[in-house]
Chain A
Amino acid sequence: MLTKEAQKTVLSDEAYKDLEEAVGPENVSREPGVLDGYAWQPMINDDPAKWVRRPVAVVLPASTEEVQAVVKACNEHGLKFKAFATGWGIYGAPTYDNVVQIDLRRMNNIVEIDDKNMYAVVQPYVSGAQLQAEAMKVGLNTHIIGAGPVCSPLSSATSGWGVGWDGISMGYSPRNVLGLEWVLPDGEVLRLGALGSEKGWFSGDGPGPSLRGLVRGSSGALGGLGVFTRGALKLYNWPGPPQVKIEGTLLDAKAEVPEHIRFHLCFFPDKKKLADATYKIGEAELGYLACKVSVSSFIYTFAPHLLQKITRTKELRRVLNEALRWTYVIMLVGNSEEEIEYQEATLEKILADYDGMSMEQMTAPAIGPMVFMNFFRVTAIPMVFRMGGLFCSFLPRNETWDTQIDFYEMGERVKKPYIEKGKILDDLNDNPFMVMYEYNTYAHAEIIFQYLARSKEQLASVEPMQIEAMIESVEMCQDQLSDCDARQRKIFSPLAGHYNRWQKRISEMFDAKRAADTGMYCDEEDYDYSKVSPELKAKLDRLMAERSWTEDGPPA
């Protein structure tokens, strides 16, 4: 007996025929089993069922022209469309019932690497690992986001966030865009940056239209503004070898760590000293990669069974929680022995000034060869599922490092009772992922929580915990991941200048027929507050009354 989902009306034959003409019959499907491959998105999904709306069809275009033809067909038949690249996470998923999923998998070429001008032109399905491997051959490197090297650099640059451990030296994904080819929601093509004047890809801001701010806003339109089919992304210096010699795959990996690379795990006695020291590190322009992660995150990634034992050992838990709370990792990469010596000496001075200490890992024979690629290519990321099968985060907007540390503490306060009641997994309640951008001019934080992917009780905890963190965020004047969730957007927009009104106007301007799926861009929905306590709801109401913008401007 098929469920209601399986019995839903399928795509009309006429629309299907037009899609076939757009991409070829072998590259379109409306088979329910195939479509469900696009309807299963457990990541950042607070629905315990983990299924999302099933698209009415999926298409596999191979060129910008084919993307245009698909988008025009959607406009003509009153369908919506949603594109994704590598397709991990709920962001790429349809949010309406009549959505054609555009899987950009066949647009997978590195069009060009210009080593002289330090950029690469890529299509959407080029992964971070592929681009890095090719860039290294010409002495360059690419920004790889925290979700790992499986993700699409073009997608994160154009459509959603773009946080990575290398942010200290390589910035935030949208900062690296040097030109875009953009299929608008009506099917027309717009070329941005120097490309808009047919002058190549060297500049994102012209000659030619820029529109980088409009394309991205703060966090990206998440597929709600069309499809980005090619982009030029800035590359960065890589003074190491064209290829790292490595045996093994991950935990068994033995990499030949290149010269002039050091990796320090730093410890500080308290929050203030960590914060002040990291500002100094930024001022000194130190660091190729840098982030704050906890000792617990190392343990649950590489030895989750060990963490289970530690959580049951009161004294050891206390040592890790208290003595090793204010940790920070930094990878230094030098162009020469002299430079790496200078960098290490500078780091040592900063550590000494702020009562910090560090352990150098790259030269540690047991660890260095294994962890080098983990950080350099962010390769261990899928291992974080080993603890329970899924994780999620409280994510605020990019802000100052100090503010993010406050957010980290708030997140741990929210998590604590859930851990104590067994509603999420015990990660020592110390599980931040925090990176800084561009030598600490701004920063990103995520407060991660781990849960059992197959436990109904733990799955049911995700949404109420997210609401609670959101209310606490409001109190801190911090906006939490509002661009993904239509419910959060409705709450945060009035608190931040009614920004979503502008997003809606942009959407209407480019998308007269409402063909793009804007569920994760500018649509709004009500939260179900029955999952939080009346006290928390009252707190939110009070904060909203006090802090919402009026028609005349900011609150008094």
Chain B
Amino acid sequence: MALKDYERDMEGCSRCSSCKWVPFNQIKSWRFAKNCPSICKYNFHAYSGSGRMIIGLSMLQGRSELNDEVTEIIFKCQMCGACDTACKVYRDDIDISEVLLELRAHCIEQGQLIVEHMAMIDALKREDNVLGEPKDKRGEWAEGLAVKDINTEQCDVIFHAGCRYSYDPDLRDTVRGQVQLLLKAGVDVGIAGKEESCCGGRAYELGYRGEAQNYAEDLLSRVKASGATTLVTPCADGYAHFRYLYPRMGVELPCEIMHVTQYMEKLLHEGKLRFKEEVPLLVTYHDPCHLGRMGEPFLTDWKEDKLQRPMSLKRSGRKGIFDAPRNIIRSIPGMELTEMERIREYSWCCGAGGGVLEAYPDFAAWTAQERIEEALATGAEALVTACPWCERVFNDAVAETGAAISVYDLNDLALKAAGLLEPVEA
């Protein structure tokens, strides 16, 4: 695909600005009515979903050029999909997220590169992870666990830890605990250990499509060899990429793909997992973009007139994973859930995605802080999420500002409720 292939999407924009707002039926206050971190931070229309489409159209029609300033505008975006979801509440014929991906690929093709992203891609090529950590240390988090090695053994469930869970020392107990929990439930689970690679999704989002394709094909061969029927990942980014980007690239993994919260919910339902410990906490749940609206499965690459596309085949964001994490929270004794105003497919982004954390950390922190304030407005004691990237930026934002709220990975709370970790202090 090329930018030209999305000209009809771009010229379909009526400039109504719905892409900047929470779907209007769900606006509950002045304070939390907006959905797009980029336009909220930088304000020029060019920083909205609509504005970026107009920039694309302008370049295609020779009215303006791709330069450093325009490149910055294109990349100062978390690719969170809020604009796309909001637009599609009303429209069937525009795929903003696809245009945003194409604009980034166009930048790379034209040699308009972001230095920090180049460094990330170099690290990825060198070490097979986006954090630039040594490849041979990727499996250290699992040392001592009685888990299968899918490089040499067959298993029923592949556990794909993802880059951040594999390397972030603050998240190590979480990811170990998840595997322990699966093992305790009797799941036949295996990992790739140091042979596990990045899913490649972040590279795709940054416009480096060749790299993403390589990683997709690598995982495909690994899954086939393992004989697994299910791939479970705690990484929300990875989940979205396996479910959406891989099929979009023509790579269908021959197994069911589940986020760890879905799998945990399944185990609860089957009675293989029980929460016995009280976790007395008033929490609010943050929907990670890639688990929620961007976690919707790839439906079709509709080639005809999109005005004629059935609503069931448009990427509405509504088919993402929203209920499993909430059901887990509700299953934990003593835990109470209070919702923020922007939830589910119209959730506010944490700020970390789309290469923003690496290239524009101030923007990522600002976006996270906005979410912290929304969480504080609920009166919750804790902000809970199910994505390591969200958890990272929220923790950093709380540390920076001293906000009176704790940040938890939902998996940690589940582990505590299952008696695998220490009790939570409210």
Q: Looking across the interface, which residue of chain B has its beta carbon closest to that of A246?
A: B25
Inter-chain contact total with CB atoms closer than 8 Å = 177
A43 proximity list for chain B (CB < 8 A): 14-16
Write out the residue numbers on chain B whose beta carbons fall within 8 Å of the beta carbon of A60.
43-44
Q: Nearest B residue to A6 by beta-carbon distance?
A: B63
B177 to A: closest C-beta gap in Å: 33
**How big is chain B's contact interface, by range?**
35 or more
Cβ of B28 and Cβ of A243 under 8 Å apart?
yes
B23 touches A6 (CB 8 A): no
* B281, CB-defined interface residue at 8 Å: no
In the complex, what residues of A have CB within 8 A of residue B55's CB? 33-34, 36-37
Q: Find residues 47-101 in chain B having any chain A CB closer than 8 Å to their own CB.
A: 50-51, 54-55, 57-59, 61-65, 67, 69-70, 73, 89-93
Q: Is B12 part of the binding interface, using a Cβ–Cβ cutoff of 8 Å?
A: yes
Q: Contacts of B16 on A, CB cut-off 8 Å? A: 43, 88, 148, 150, 382, 385
* CB nearest neighbor in B for A148: B24
A260 lies within 8 A of chain B by Cβ: no
The verdict on A485 contacting chain B, using a C-beta distance below 8 Å, is no
Bound Cα distance A34, B51 (Å): 8
Would you call B46 and A33 a contact (CB within 8 A)? yes
Q: Are A250 and B25 in contact (CB under 8 A)?
A: yes
Q: Which residues from B are CB-within-8-Å of A9?
A: none
Whether the pair A389, B307 counts as a contact (CB closer than 8 A) is: yes
Flag if A133 contacts B308 (CB, 8 Å): no
Contact status B63-A2, CB under 8 Å: yes
Indicate if A377 sits at the interface (CB-CB under 8 A).
yes
B24 contacts which of A110, A243, A377 (Cβ < 8 Å)?
A377
Residue interface mask A132-150, B partner, CB < 8 A = 1: 0110000000000000111
**Of A122-130, A339-347, A398-406, the one touching chain B:** A122-130
The answer to whether residues A40 and B15 also contact, given A6-B65, A34-B73, A126-B30 and a CB cut-off of 8 A, is yes
Docked Cα-Cα span, A382 to B91, in Å, equals: 7
Instruction: Please name all residues of chain A whose beta carbon is closer than 8 Å to the beta carbon of B406 when the two chains form the complex.
Output: none
**A361-385 at interface with B (beta carbon < 8 Å):** 373-374, 377, 379-380, 382-383, 385
By a CB distance below 8 angstroms, the chain A residues around B30 are: 110, 126, 130-131, 133-134
Q: Are B14 and A252 in contact (CB under 8 A)?
A: no
C-beta contact mask, B283-312 vs A, less than 8 Å → 1, else 0?
000000000000000000000000110110
Are A382 and B18 CB-contacts (below 8 A) given A32-B63, A33-B58, A36-B58?
yes
Q: In the complex, which residues of chain B have a beta carbon less than 8 angstroms from the beta carbon of A390?
A: 14
Which residues in A have their C-beta under 8 angstroms from that of B73? 33-34
Question: Do residues A37 and B33 form an inter-chain contact, with CB atoms below 8 A?
Answer: no
Cβ–Cβ < 8 Å partners of B62 in chain A = 1-3, 6
Chain A neighbourhood of B17, CB < 8 A: 86-88, 150
Chain A residues within 8 Å of B65, by CB: 2, 6, 32-33
Please give the distance in Å from A19's CB to the nearest CB on chain B.
14
B61: chain A residues at CB < 8 Å are: 3
Q: List 5 A-B contacts (CB under 8 A).
A: A40-B13, A40-B15, A43-B15, A249-B25, A452-B307
* Closest A-B pairs by Cβ, 7 of them: A382-B90, A37-B45, A32-B64, A249-B23, A36-B58, A379-B24, A37-B51
- Known: A249-B346, A305-B308; 16 extra A-B contacts, CB below 8 A, are A5-B63, A32-B65, A33-B64, A34-B44, A34-B55, A36-B63, A37-B50, A42-B13, A58-B44, A87-B45, A127-B21, A134-B30, A249-B25, A374-B25, A386-B91, A388-B307
Q: Which residues of B contact A (CB under 8 A)?
A: 8, 11-18, 21, 23-30, 33, 43-46, 50-51, 54-55, 57-59, 61-65, 67, 69-70, 73, 89-93, 307-308, 310-311, 318, 345-346
